[in-house]
Structure 1
Amino acid sequence: MSYLKTLFIICPIFFISGIIDSIGGGGGLIVLPTYLMIGLPVRSAYGCNKLQAGLGNLVSAIKYFKNNMVDLRIALVSAITAMTGAWIGTKIIFLLPEESIQKAITVALPVIALIMVLRKTDARNVIMRSEISKKTVVQALIVGVIMGFYNSLFGPGIGTVAIIAFTMIMHYDARCASGNGKVLIVLTNAIALVSYVKTGNVAYEIACPAAICAIAGNLVGVNLAIRKGEKIIKPVMLVVVILTVIKFAWQNHLWG
Protein backbone atom coordinates (compact mmCIF):
# COMPACT_ATOMS: atom_id res chain seq x y z
CA MET A 1 0.00 0.00 0.00
CA SER A 2 1.40 3.41 -1.00
CA TYR A 3 2.01 6.12 1.57
CA LEU A 4 -0.66 8.44 0.16
CA LYS A 5 -3.22 5.66 0.05
CA THR A 6 -2.42 4.79 3.65
CA LEU A 7 -2.99 8.39 4.71
CA PHE A 8 -6.21 8.56 2.70
CA ILE A 9 -7.52 5.57 4.63
CA ILE A 10 -6.31 6.38 8.13
CA CYS A 11 -6.77 10.15 8.37
CA PRO A 12 -10.60 10.06 8.50
CA ILE A 13 -10.36 7.34 11.15
CA PHE A 14 -8.07 9.49 13.29
CA PHE A 15 -10.41 12.46 12.89
CA ILE A 16 -13.36 10.36 14.11
CA SER A 17 -11.28 8.91 16.94
CA GLY A 18 -10.42 12.46 18.03
CA ILE A 19 -14.12 13.32 18.26
CA ILE A 20 -14.86 10.19 20.27
CA ASP A 21 -11.84 10.55 22.52
CA SER A 22 -12.55 14.15 23.45
CA ILE A 23 -16.15 13.37 24.44
CA GLY A 24 -16.04 10.11 26.36
CA GLY A 25 -12.56 8.70 25.90
CA GLY A 26 -11.79 5.57 23.97
CA GLY A 27 -10.41 6.98 20.74
CA GLY A 28 -7.46 4.65 21.15
CA LEU A 29 -9.84 1.74 20.80
CA ILE A 30 -10.02 2.67 17.12
CA VAL A 31 -6.56 4.16 16.59
CA LEU A 32 -4.34 1.39 17.94
CA PRO A 33 -5.93 -1.42 15.88
CA THR A 34 -5.75 0.87 12.84
CA TYR A 35 -2.00 1.33 13.29
CA LEU A 36 -1.61 -2.42 13.60
CA MET A 37 -3.77 -3.18 10.55
CA ILE A 38 -1.62 -0.95 8.29
CA GLY A 39 1.38 -3.03 9.27
CA LEU A 40 3.13 -1.11 12.05
CA PRO A 41 4.89 -3.28 14.64
CA VAL A 42 3.16 -3.29 18.03
CA ARG A 43 5.69 -1.04 19.76
CA SER A 44 5.73 1.44 16.85
CA ALA A 45 1.93 1.51 16.98
CA TYR A 46 2.16 2.33 20.68
CA GLY A 47 4.74 5.04 20.03
CA CYS A 48 2.69 6.68 17.27
CA ASN A 49 -0.39 6.49 19.46
CA LYS A 50 1.39 8.24 22.34
CA LEU A 51 2.47 11.12 20.09
CA GLN A 52 -0.82 11.54 18.28
CA ALA A 53 -3.03 11.03 21.35
CA GLY A 54 -0.86 13.29 23.47
CA LEU A 55 -1.24 16.24 21.11
CA GLY A 56 -4.95 15.61 20.61
CA ASN A 57 -5.58 15.38 24.34
CA LEU A 58 -3.55 18.53 24.95
CA VAL A 59 -5.95 20.46 22.72
CA SER A 60 -8.92 18.90 24.54
CA ALA A 61 -7.45 19.68 27.96
CA ILE A 62 -6.99 23.34 27.03
CA LYS A 63 -10.54 23.56 25.72
CA TYR A 64 -12.03 21.91 28.82
CA PHE A 65 -9.95 24.19 31.04
CA LYS A 66 -11.12 27.33 29.26
CA ASN A 67 -14.71 26.17 29.86
CA ASN A 68 -14.08 25.63 33.61
CA MET A 69 -14.35 21.86 33.31
CA VAL A 70 -10.97 20.97 34.81
CA ASP A 71 -10.26 20.81 38.54
CA LEU A 72 -6.61 21.60 38.01
CA ARG A 73 -5.41 21.14 41.60
CA ILE A 74 -6.83 17.62 41.84
CA ALA A 75 -5.58 16.77 38.34
CA LEU A 76 -2.06 17.84 39.28
CA VAL A 77 -2.18 15.80 42.50
CA SER A 78 -3.23 12.75 40.48
CA ALA A 79 -0.40 13.45 38.06
CA ILE A 80 2.17 12.68 40.78
CA THR A 81 1.32 8.97 40.87
CA ALA A 82 0.11 8.89 37.26
CA MET A 83 3.58 9.66 35.93
CA THR A 84 5.12 7.08 38.25
CA GLY A 85 2.63 4.48 37.10
CA ALA A 86 3.29 5.41 33.46
CA TRP A 87 7.04 4.92 33.91
CA ILE A 88 6.58 1.48 35.51
CA GLY A 89 4.07 0.36 32.88
CA THR A 90 6.34 1.42 30.03
CA LYS A 91 9.22 -0.60 31.47
CA ILE A 92 6.96 -3.66 31.76
CA ILE A 93 5.72 -3.49 28.18
CA PHE A 94 9.27 -3.63 26.80
CA LEU A 95 9.79 -6.88 28.71
CA LEU A 96 6.72 -8.64 27.31
CA PRO A 97 6.74 -10.76 24.12
CA GLU A 98 5.02 -9.01 21.20
CA GLU A 99 2.53 -11.88 20.75
CA SER A 100 1.46 -11.56 24.39
CA ILE A 101 0.88 -7.84 23.92
CA GLN A 102 -1.31 -8.49 20.86
CA LYS A 103 -3.44 -11.04 22.70
CA ALA A 104 -3.80 -8.74 25.70
CA ILE A 105 -4.97 -5.90 23.44
CA THR A 106 -7.53 -8.12 21.70
CA VAL A 107 -8.98 -9.23 25.04
CA ALA A 108 -8.88 -5.77 26.66
CA LEU A 109 -10.45 -3.71 23.87
CA PRO A 110 -13.96 -5.24 23.85
CA VAL A 111 -14.05 -5.35 27.66
CA ILE A 112 -13.25 -1.64 27.91
CA ALA A 113 -15.73 -0.82 25.16
CA LEU A 114 -18.46 -2.72 27.02
CA ILE A 115 -17.70 -0.79 30.21
CA MET A 116 -17.97 2.46 28.26
CA VAL A 117 -21.35 1.59 26.78
CA LEU A 118 -22.88 0.25 30.01
CA ARG A 119 -21.59 3.09 32.20
CA LYS A 120 -24.49 5.31 33.26
CA THR A 121 -24.27 8.82 34.62
CA ASP A 122 -25.28 9.03 38.29
CA ALA A 123 -27.30 12.13 39.05
CA ARG A 124 -25.30 12.55 42.26
CA ASN A 125 -22.03 12.90 40.34
CA VAL A 126 -22.29 16.62 39.78
CA ILE A 127 -19.17 17.86 41.58
CA MET A 128 -17.09 20.26 39.51
CA ARG A 129 -14.54 21.10 42.23
CA SER A 130 -13.16 19.24 45.26
CA GLU A 131 -11.65 20.75 48.37
CA ILE A 132 -8.05 19.77 49.03
CA SER A 133 -8.09 17.47 52.05
CA LYS A 134 -6.38 14.29 53.19
CA LYS A 135 -9.26 12.24 51.77
CA THR A 136 -9.36 13.92 48.36
CA VAL A 137 -5.58 13.83 48.03
CA VAL A 138 -5.53 10.07 48.69
CA GLN A 139 -8.39 9.57 46.23
CA ALA A 140 -6.63 11.65 43.59
CA LEU A 141 -3.42 9.68 44.06
CA ILE A 142 -5.33 6.40 43.65
CA VAL A 143 -6.87 7.67 40.42
CA GLY A 144 -3.40 8.66 39.25
CA VAL A 145 -1.94 5.21 39.87
CA ILE A 146 -4.79 3.54 37.97
CA MET A 147 -4.51 5.87 35.00
CA GLY A 148 -0.73 6.02 34.76
CA PHE A 149 -0.21 2.28 34.89
CA TYR A 150 -3.06 1.53 32.51
CA ASN A 151 -2.13 4.23 30.02
CA SER A 152 1.44 3.02 29.57
CA LEU A 153 0.65 -0.69 29.64
CA PHE A 154 -2.42 -0.73 27.37
CA GLY A 155 -3.40 2.83 26.36
CA PRO A 156 -6.67 2.37 24.44
CA GLY A 157 -9.68 3.48 26.45
CA ILE A 158 -7.66 5.51 28.97
CA GLY A 159 -10.02 8.48 28.58
CA THR A 160 -12.91 6.24 29.54
CA VAL A 161 -10.94 4.82 32.47
CA ALA A 162 -10.35 8.43 33.59
CA ILE A 163 -14.04 9.27 33.51
CA ILE A 164 -14.97 6.09 35.36
CA ALA A 165 -12.26 6.63 38.00
CA PHE A 166 -12.96 10.30 38.64
CA THR A 167 -16.75 9.81 38.74
CA MET A 168 -16.77 6.63 40.82
CA ILE A 169 -13.97 7.48 43.25
CA MET A 170 -14.35 11.24 43.53
CA HIS A 171 -17.92 11.81 42.25
CA TYR A 172 -17.08 14.37 39.58
CA ASP A 173 -19.44 15.49 36.87
CA ALA A 174 -18.60 13.38 33.79
CA ARG A 175 -17.45 16.40 31.79
CA CYS A 176 -15.11 17.58 34.54
CA ALA A 177 -13.91 13.99 34.99
CA SER A 178 -13.07 13.94 31.30
CA GLY A 179 -11.28 17.29 31.56
CA ASN A 180 -9.25 16.12 34.56
CA GLY A 181 -8.41 12.94 32.69
CA LYS A 182 -7.12 14.87 29.70
CA VAL A 183 -4.58 16.66 31.88
CA LEU A 184 -3.30 13.34 33.24
CA ILE A 185 -3.24 11.71 29.82
CA VAL A 186 -1.10 14.52 28.41
CA LEU A 187 1.41 14.16 31.24
CA THR A 188 1.55 10.35 31.27
CA ASN A 189 1.75 10.20 27.48
CA ALA A 190 4.72 12.56 27.58
CA ILE A 191 6.54 10.28 30.05
CA ALA A 192 5.80 7.15 28.02
CA LEU A 193 6.60 8.86 24.70
CA VAL A 194 10.19 9.55 25.79
CA SER A 195 10.89 5.82 25.95
CA TYR A 196 9.39 5.19 22.52
CA VAL A 197 11.33 8.07 20.95
CA LYS A 198 14.62 6.92 22.50
CA THR A 199 14.13 3.38 21.17
CA GLY A 200 13.13 4.56 17.66
CA ASN A 201 9.56 3.33 17.97
CA VAL A 202 7.77 6.37 16.54
CA ALA A 203 6.97 6.42 12.81
CA TYR A 204 6.77 10.19 12.38
CA GLU A 205 5.60 10.01 8.78
CA ILE A 206 2.42 8.34 10.09
CA ALA A 207 2.15 9.87 13.57
CA CYS A 208 2.36 13.53 12.46
CA PRO A 209 -0.53 13.46 9.94
CA ALA A 210 -2.46 11.34 12.43
CA ALA A 211 -1.91 13.99 15.10
CA ILE A 212 -3.20 16.78 12.85
CA CYS A 213 -6.39 14.83 12.12
CA ALA A 214 -6.81 13.89 15.78
CA ILE A 215 -6.46 17.52 16.87
CA ALA A 216 -9.16 18.57 14.41
CA GLY A 217 -11.42 15.81 15.72
CA ASN A 218 -10.74 16.78 19.32
CA LEU A 219 -11.77 20.37 18.65
CA VAL A 220 -15.07 19.21 17.19
CA GLY A 221 -15.63 16.64 19.92
CA VAL A 222 -15.03 18.95 22.89
CA ASN A 223 -17.65 21.35 21.59
CA LEU A 224 -20.11 18.46 21.28
CA ALA A 225 -19.24 17.24 24.79
CA ILE A 226 -19.82 20.64 26.32
CA ARG A 227 -23.22 20.96 24.63
CA LYS A 228 -24.59 17.41 24.53
CA GLY A 229 -22.26 14.95 26.25
CA GLU A 230 -21.30 11.51 25.00
CA LYS A 231 -24.65 9.83 24.23
CA ILE A 232 -24.48 10.35 20.48
CA ILE A 233 -21.06 8.68 20.25
CA LYS A 234 -21.60 5.46 22.25
CA PRO A 235 -23.62 3.37 19.75
CA VAL A 236 -21.34 4.27 16.83
CA MET A 237 -18.23 3.57 18.82
CA LEU A 238 -19.46 0.17 20.03
CA VAL A 239 -20.02 -1.00 16.45
CA VAL A 240 -16.64 0.31 15.28
CA VAL A 241 -14.79 -1.29 18.18
CA ILE A 242 -16.45 -4.69 17.73
CA LEU A 243 -15.71 -4.78 14.01
CA THR A 244 -12.13 -3.57 14.50
CA VAL A 245 -11.35 -6.14 17.20
CA ILE A 246 -12.83 -8.98 15.14
CA LYS A 247 -10.83 -7.97 12.08
CA PHE A 248 -7.62 -7.51 14.06
CA ALA A 249 -7.96 -10.88 15.79
CA TRP A 250 -8.79 -12.63 12.51
CA GLN A 251 -5.92 -11.10 10.57
CA ASN A 252 -3.38 -11.98 13.23
CA HIS A 253 -4.80 -15.46 13.93
CA LEU A 254 -4.42 -14.76 17.63
CA TRP A 255 -6.46 -17.71 18.68
CA GLY A 256 -4.95 -20.22 16.31
Structure 2
Amino acid sequence: MELEPWTIATLLTVAALAGWVDAVVGGGGLLLLPALLVAAPGMPPATALGTNKLAAIAGTSTAAVTFARRTTIDWRVAGPAAALAVLCAGLGAALAGAVPPSAYRPVVLVVLVSVALFVVLRPRLGVRAVPQRRTRVRVVAAVLVAGVGIATYDGLIGPGTGTFLVVAFTVLVGADFLHGSAMAKVVNAGTNAGALVVFAATGHVWWLLGAAMAVCNIAGAAVGARMALRRGSGFVRVVLLVVVLALVAKLGYDQWLAG
Protein backbone atom coordinates (compact mmCIF):
# COMPACT_ATOMS: atom_id res chain seq x y z
CA MET A 1 0.00 0.00 0.00
CA GLU A 2 1.46 3.35 -1.06
CA LEU A 3 0.47 6.84 0.08
CA GLU A 4 0.92 10.17 -1.64
CA PRO A 5 3.56 12.49 -0.09
CA TRP A 6 0.91 15.04 0.92
CA THR A 7 -1.08 12.28 2.63
CA ILE A 8 1.98 11.20 4.60
CA ALA A 9 2.69 14.83 5.54
CA THR A 10 -0.90 15.19 6.77
CA LEU A 11 -0.64 12.03 8.88
CA LEU A 12 2.62 13.21 10.43
CA THR A 13 1.03 16.55 11.33
CA VAL A 14 -1.98 14.81 12.85
CA ALA A 15 0.37 12.51 14.79
CA ALA A 16 2.05 15.54 16.36
CA LEU A 17 -1.32 17.04 17.32
CA ALA A 18 -2.45 13.68 18.71
CA GLY A 19 0.71 13.51 20.82
CA TRP A 20 -0.06 16.94 22.27
CA VAL A 21 -3.64 15.98 23.12
CA ASP A 22 -2.59 12.63 24.61
CA ALA A 23 0.04 14.28 26.79
CA VAL A 24 -2.35 16.84 28.24
CA VAL A 25 -5.42 14.71 28.87
CA GLY A 26 -5.64 11.76 26.46
CA GLY A 27 -7.85 11.29 23.42
CA GLY A 28 -5.23 11.60 20.69
CA GLY A 29 -6.65 8.50 19.05
CA LEU A 30 -9.72 10.59 18.24
CA LEU A 31 -7.50 12.43 15.74
CA LEU A 32 -5.04 9.84 14.52
CA LEU A 33 -7.18 6.74 14.11
CA PRO A 34 -9.80 8.34 11.82
CA ALA A 35 -6.99 10.06 9.90
CA LEU A 36 -5.37 6.68 9.21
CA LEU A 37 -8.64 5.15 8.05
CA VAL A 38 -9.36 8.10 5.74
CA ALA A 39 -5.81 8.27 4.36
CA ALA A 40 -5.68 4.54 3.61
CA PRO A 41 -9.26 3.34 3.08
CA GLY A 42 -8.04 -0.13 2.17
CA MET A 43 -6.25 -0.56 5.48
CA PRO A 44 -7.88 -3.18 7.77
CA PRO A 45 -9.19 -1.59 11.01
CA ALA A 46 -6.90 -3.83 13.08
CA THR A 47 -3.87 -2.54 11.15
CA ALA A 48 -4.99 1.04 11.72
CA LEU A 49 -5.30 0.27 15.45
CA GLY A 50 -1.88 -1.39 15.56
CA THR A 51 -0.15 1.42 13.64
CA ASN A 52 -1.83 3.97 15.90
CA LYS A 53 -0.51 2.09 18.95
CA LEU A 54 3.05 2.24 17.61
CA ALA A 55 2.81 6.03 17.36
CA ALA A 56 0.91 6.39 20.62
CA ILE A 57 3.29 4.37 22.81
CA ALA A 58 6.15 6.67 21.79
CA GLY A 59 4.19 9.78 22.76
CA THR A 60 2.67 8.48 26.00
CA SER A 61 6.04 7.14 27.17
CA THR A 62 7.64 10.52 26.48
CA ALA A 63 4.86 12.30 28.39
CA ALA A 64 5.11 9.80 31.28
CA VAL A 65 8.86 10.41 31.63
CA THR A 66 8.36 14.19 31.46
CA PHE A 67 5.70 14.11 34.18
CA ALA A 68 7.76 11.73 36.36
CA ARG A 69 10.74 14.09 36.24
CA ARG A 70 8.80 17.24 37.07
CA THR A 71 5.98 16.20 39.38
CA THR A 72 5.01 13.51 41.87
CA ILE A 73 3.36 10.31 40.65
CA ASP A 74 1.56 8.03 43.10
CA TRP A 75 3.20 4.74 42.14
CA ARG A 76 0.96 2.77 44.55
CA VAL A 77 -1.80 3.42 42.05
CA ALA A 78 -0.01 3.91 38.74
CA GLY A 79 2.44 1.01 39.05
CA PRO A 80 0.03 -1.91 39.61
CA ALA A 81 -2.50 -0.39 37.20
CA ALA A 82 0.14 -0.14 34.46
CA ALA A 83 1.22 -3.76 35.02
CA LEU A 84 -2.36 -5.01 34.75
CA ALA A 85 -2.93 -2.72 31.77
CA VAL A 86 -0.27 -4.48 29.69
CA LEU A 87 -2.10 -7.79 30.05
CA CYS A 88 -5.66 -6.50 29.75
CA ALA A 89 -4.98 -4.23 26.77
CA GLY A 90 -3.38 -7.21 25.06
CA LEU A 91 -6.56 -9.20 25.73
CA GLY A 92 -8.65 -6.36 24.33
CA ALA A 93 -6.46 -6.21 21.21
CA ALA A 94 -6.90 -9.95 20.72
CA LEU A 95 -10.67 -9.45 20.77
CA ALA A 96 -10.60 -6.33 18.58
CA GLY A 97 -11.65 -8.12 15.41
CA ALA A 98 -14.37 -10.13 17.10
CA VAL A 99 -16.39 -7.26 18.61
CA PRO A 100 -18.14 -4.94 16.12
CA PRO A 101 -18.15 -1.21 16.94
CA SER A 102 -21.95 -1.22 17.04
CA ALA A 103 -21.78 -3.40 20.15
CA TYR A 104 -19.97 -0.91 22.35
CA ARG A 105 -20.45 2.49 20.68
CA PRO A 106 -23.77 3.35 22.46
CA VAL A 107 -22.35 2.37 25.85
CA VAL A 108 -19.22 4.48 25.39
CA LEU A 109 -21.36 7.38 24.18
CA VAL A 110 -23.49 7.28 27.34
CA VAL A 111 -20.37 7.10 29.52
CA LEU A 112 -18.81 10.09 27.76
CA VAL A 113 -21.95 12.21 28.11
CA SER A 114 -22.05 11.30 31.81
CA VAL A 115 -18.39 12.28 32.20
CA ALA A 116 -19.00 15.64 30.50
CA LEU A 117 -22.00 16.42 32.71
CA PHE A 118 -20.13 15.29 35.82
CA VAL A 119 -17.16 17.57 35.11
CA VAL A 120 -19.35 20.55 34.14
CA LEU A 121 -21.66 20.24 37.15
CA ARG A 122 -18.73 19.90 39.57
CA PRO A 123 -16.49 22.85 38.68
CA ARG A 124 -14.19 22.20 41.65
CA LEU A 125 -13.51 18.62 40.62
CA GLY A 126 -9.81 18.12 39.98
CA VAL A 127 -8.83 21.68 40.81
CA ARG A 128 -7.18 20.55 44.03
CA ALA A 129 -6.11 17.14 45.28
CA VAL A 130 -8.22 15.46 47.97
CA PRO A 131 -5.69 13.11 49.61
CA GLN A 132 -8.17 11.84 52.23
CA ARG A 133 -9.94 9.95 49.45
CA ARG A 134 -6.86 7.79 48.93
CA THR A 135 -8.01 4.91 51.15
CA ARG A 136 -6.92 1.32 50.54
CA VAL A 137 -10.31 0.39 49.07
CA ARG A 138 -10.29 3.35 46.68
CA VAL A 139 -6.71 2.61 45.60
CA VAL A 140 -7.65 -0.99 44.78
CA ALA A 141 -10.76 0.22 42.93
CA ALA A 142 -8.69 2.69 40.90
CA VAL A 143 -6.14 0.01 40.01
CA LEU A 144 -8.87 -2.37 38.81
CA VAL A 145 -10.88 0.24 36.93
CA ALA A 146 -7.78 1.62 35.18
CA GLY A 147 -5.72 -1.54 34.79
CA VAL A 148 -8.54 -3.92 33.84
CA GLY A 149 -11.64 -2.06 32.61
CA ILE A 150 -10.16 0.93 30.79
CA ALA A 151 -7.12 -1.03 29.58
CA THR A 152 -9.32 -3.68 27.95
CA TYR A 153 -11.30 -0.94 26.22
CA ASP A 154 -8.05 0.59 24.95
CA GLY A 155 -7.04 -2.69 23.34
CA LEU A 156 -10.46 -3.01 21.71
CA ILE A 157 -10.79 0.48 20.22
CA GLY A 158 -8.74 3.08 22.09
CA PRO A 159 -9.91 6.68 21.56
CA GLY A 160 -10.70 8.39 24.87
CA THR A 161 -8.64 6.01 27.01
CA GLY A 162 -6.40 8.71 28.49
CA THR A 163 -9.44 10.85 29.28
CA PHE A 164 -11.17 7.99 31.07
CA LEU A 165 -8.00 7.35 33.09
CA VAL A 166 -7.69 10.99 34.19
CA VAL A 167 -11.32 11.08 35.34
CA ALA A 168 -10.99 7.72 37.11
CA PHE A 169 -7.95 8.83 39.12
CA THR A 170 -9.57 12.17 39.94
CA VAL A 171 -12.85 10.68 41.12
CA LEU A 172 -11.59 7.53 42.83
CA VAL A 173 -8.41 8.63 44.60
CA GLY A 174 -8.86 12.40 44.73
CA ALA A 175 -6.03 13.39 42.40
CA ASP A 176 -6.13 16.85 40.86
CA PHE A 177 -6.33 16.89 37.07
CA LEU A 178 -2.59 17.51 36.65
CA HIS A 179 -1.49 14.57 38.79
CA GLY A 180 -4.34 12.44 37.46
CA SER A 181 -3.00 13.12 33.98
CA ALA A 182 0.51 12.16 35.10
CA MET A 183 -0.70 8.79 36.42
CA ALA A 184 -2.79 8.31 33.30
CA LYS A 185 0.30 8.59 31.10
CA VAL A 186 2.04 5.77 32.98
CA VAL A 187 -0.98 3.47 32.64
CA ASN A 188 -1.62 4.52 29.04
CA ALA A 189 1.95 3.58 28.15
CA GLY A 190 1.18 0.13 29.57
CA THR A 191 -2.06 -0.22 27.59
CA ASN A 192 -0.32 0.83 24.39
CA ALA A 193 2.50 -1.66 25.00
CA GLY A 194 0.14 -4.57 25.63
CA ALA A 195 -2.01 -3.85 22.60
CA LEU A 196 1.01 -3.22 20.35
CA VAL A 197 2.54 -6.62 21.17
CA VAL A 198 -0.65 -8.40 20.08
CA PHE A 199 -1.15 -6.32 16.92
CA ALA A 200 2.52 -6.83 15.98
CA ALA A 201 2.33 -10.58 16.57
CA THR A 202 -0.67 -10.81 14.24
CA GLY A 203 0.94 -8.67 11.53
CA HIS A 204 -1.30 -5.65 12.05
CA VAL A 205 1.31 -2.88 12.25
CA TRP A 206 2.50 -0.71 9.35
CA TRP A 207 6.01 -0.28 10.77
CA LEU A 208 7.52 2.35 8.49
CA LEU A 209 4.55 4.73 8.65
CA GLY A 210 4.06 4.04 12.37
CA ALA A 211 7.70 4.82 13.15
CA ALA A 212 7.52 8.14 11.29
CA MET A 213 4.32 9.06 13.12
CA ALA A 214 5.95 8.02 16.41
CA VAL A 215 8.67 10.65 15.96
CA CYS A 216 6.04 13.36 15.43
CA ASN A 217 3.96 12.00 18.30
CA ILE A 218 6.96 12.32 20.61
CA ALA A 219 7.44 15.95 19.61
CA GLY A 220 3.78 16.76 20.27
CA ALA A 221 3.79 14.88 23.57
CA ALA A 222 6.87 16.71 24.83
CA VAL A 223 5.25 20.08 24.14
CA GLY A 224 1.90 19.00 25.61
CA ALA A 225 3.35 17.61 28.84
CA ARG A 226 5.34 20.78 29.46
CA MET A 227 2.28 22.96 28.80
CA ALA A 228 0.19 20.91 31.23
CA LEU A 229 2.87 21.17 33.91
CA ARG A 230 3.27 24.89 33.38
CA ARG A 231 -0.43 25.79 33.24
CA GLY A 232 -1.76 23.37 35.84
CA SER A 233 -5.04 21.60 36.57
CA GLY A 234 -7.33 24.35 35.26
CA PHE A 235 -5.79 24.06 31.80
CA VAL A 236 -6.06 20.26 31.87
CA ARG A 237 -9.73 20.52 32.87
CA VAL A 238 -10.55 22.74 29.88
CA VAL A 239 -8.76 20.45 27.44
CA LEU A 240 -10.47 17.43 29.00
CA LEU A 241 -13.91 18.94 28.43
CA VAL A 242 -13.06 19.84 24.82
CA VAL A 243 -11.80 16.30 24.14
CA VAL A 244 -14.83 14.66 25.78
CA LEU A 245 -17.26 16.83 23.78
CA ALA A 246 -15.35 16.04 20.58
CA LEU A 247 -15.53 12.33 21.36
CA VAL A 248 -19.27 12.61 22.02
CA ALA A 249 -19.76 14.38 18.70
CA LYS A 250 -17.67 11.81 16.81
CA LEU A 251 -19.31 8.74 18.35
CA GLY A 252 -22.76 10.31 18.07
CA TYR A 253 -22.19 10.95 14.37
CA ASP A 254 -20.95 7.39 13.87
CA GLN A 255 -24.01 6.04 15.69
CA TRP A 256 -26.30 8.19 13.55
CA LEU A 257 -24.68 6.87 10.38
CA ALA A 258 -24.95 3.30 11.65
CA GLY A 259 -28.61 3.79 12.53
TM bin (shorter chain): 0.7 to 0.9
Q: CA deviation at 1:101?
A: 3.0
Q: CA deviation at 1:174?
A: 1.1
C-alpha spacing 1:150/1:123, structure 2 compared with 1 (3 Å): closer
Residue 184 of structure 1: aligned partner: 187
Residue 38 of structure 2: aligned partner: 37
Measured in 2, the distance between the counterparts of 1:20 and 1:212 equals 15
Give the number of equivalent residue pairs. Answer: 250
Question: Could you report, residue by residue, the CA deviation over 1:133-177 in whole angstroms, capped at 9, with x for unpaired residues?
Answer: 465234423332222112111211111010011111111111111
Measured in 1, the distance between the counterparts of 2:167 and 2:70 equals 21
Residue 173 of structure 1: aligned partner: 176
Structure 1 contact 30–244 (Cα < 8 Å) conserved: no
Question: Could you report, residue by residue, the CA deviation over 1:85-125 in whole angstroms, capped at 9, with x for unpaired residues?
Answer: 223322221323xxx23785698479648845862551675
Measured in 2, the distance between the counterparts of 1:190 and 1:80 equals 10
Q: CA RMSD in A?
A: 3.3
Residue 230 of structure 1: aligned partner: 236
Measured in 2, the distance between the counterparts of 1:43 and 1:184 equals 22
C-alpha spacing 1:137/1:69, structure 2 compared with 1 (3 Å): same
For residues 1-256 of structure 1, the aligned pairs below 5 Å read: 2-38=3-39, 39=41, 40-96=43-99, 100-101=100-101, 104=104, 108=108, 112=112, 115=115, 119=119, 120-122=123-125, 125-127=128-130, 133=136, 136-228=139-231, 229-230=235-236, 233=239, 237=243, 249=254, 254-255=257-258
C-alpha spacing 1:29/1:43, structure 2 compared with 1 (3 Å): same
Structure 1 contact 17–28 (Cα < 8 Å) conserved: yes
Measured in 1, the distance between the counterparts of 2:152 and 2:124 equals 25
Measured in 2, the distance between the counterparts of 1:133 and 1:111 equals 26
- Letter aligned with residue 174 of structure 1: F
Unpaired stretches in structure 2, ≥5 consecutive residues: none
Unpaired stretches in structure 1, ≥5 consecutive residues: none
Identity percentage over the alignment? 28
